[in-house]
A = this chain, B = another copy of it.
Amino acid sequence: LPVLSNILLATQSNRLKLAATNLELGITYWLGASVEIDGSLTVPARLLTDFVSSLPSGNLELTQNDLALKVGTAHYESTINGISSDEFPLIPQVKGEPALTLAVEDLREALAMVIGAASLDEARPVLAGIHMYVDDQSLVLVATDSYRLAERSLKLKAGQVANEDFSVIVPVRTMQELVRILSDSQGNVHMYTDANQVLFEIDGIELTSRLIEGQFPPYRQIIPTEVETIAELPTSEFVRITKIAHLFAKESAGGIQIKIQAEGRLTMSSNTSQVGENQSVIDCDVQGDDNEVSLNARYLMEALGVMKADTVSFGTSGKLSACVLRPSGNAKVDDFLYIIMPLRT
């Protein structure tokens, strides 16, 4: 559908509305304009963006001439051929009072911490989303692809949530777009929902998306309530040895071995018969007994990459149990956990 590559421009009172959609999600933005004659047209998004961003700052004049848009300034003038706005899909309206209000920075950081754990596979639709719900006056964001799981909790203040039963699953692709918008925004984000749709409103930008239907799996069952062994390690050093182990595990599905010794040592190793083998050792604080487990190196690197703490606690109950990672030490966030399922070796 060619019109989906286009951006809608439409005057609306003394504003210009810009909108784009891929049918799953839509983004609408309004900007101030001095409107002389009303008009609406869709033009190729990439060309308009590249042209406008090549111009020096200043005011732009836009003139619609049937299906062509004349846009530019006295020195730089373009005519871009478009498609009638009649062909542009309607972006659903979601109305009412905000279901949830959050600081932009809190939501951006929480999403960035969990989004990587969501599934990119649509085979189980609920896993290709981020589950957001209210539990005990906290907003919980959780994502899992069934191999690993990330859960972030944000304490809510009075008035931030309209309904204690709030619970939605938002497509991961919508959340990727939302993270991009939040990265350029400030202030608050308001979230509106109805039975099938969600609307995020941030500083004049509206992001509308379908919701994912269905029940998110009862994931709390797989979070270990306690672990046999916990090692506390400097995050940067843990990242370093995981990257090294991954080099030697690439051709054997990413499997690496972690051995924790109660006297205060973590040993990570990997090998691929064709390539070679490697072993790294870190001295660390250990609580509990000797233990060992095999993990996928990529999942461990991704978990460490979102920890946002100088020190991380790594908990394991051996080869058959899920590992639990949490930020520790001078953590900026303390209500975060990352679960990685072990590799059966």
Given the interface pairs A51-B247, A54-B240, A247-B51, the reply to whether A276 lies near B76 with Cβ below 8 Å is no
Q: Which of A60-75 contact B (CB under 8 A)?
A: 68, 72, 74-75
> What separation, in Å, do the CA atoms of A78 and B275 have in the docked complex?
10
State the copy count for this chain: 2
Q: Which of A222-230, A277-285, A328-336 has 4 or more CB atoms under 8 Å from chain B?
A: A277-285
User: What number of A residues sit within 8 Å (CB to CB) of B?
Assistant: 32
A274 and B81 form a contact (CB under 8 A): yes
How far is A336 from B55 in the complex, measured between Cα atoms in Å? 29
Is A76 a contact of B244 with CB atoms below 8 Å? yes
Q: Would you call A76 and B275 a contact (CB within 8 A)?
A: no
Give me the interface of A with B, judged by CB distance under 8 Å. Answer: 44, 47, 50-51, 54-56, 68, 72, 74-81, 240-241, 243-244, 247-248, 274-282
List 29 A-B residue pairs with CB atoms under 8 Å apart, sorted by A's residue number: A44-B275, A47-B248, A47-B276, A50-B247, A51-B244, A54-B240, A54-B243, A54-B244, A54-B247, A55-B240, A55-B244, A72-B278, A74-B281, A75-B281, A75-B282, A76-B279, A76-B281, A77-B278, A77-B279, A77-B280, A78-B248, A78-B276, A78-B277, A78-B279, A79-B276, A79-B278, A80-B276, A81-B274, A81-B275
6 shortest A-B CB distances, which residue pairs? A78-B278, A80-B276, A76-B280, A79-B276, A81-B276, A54-B244
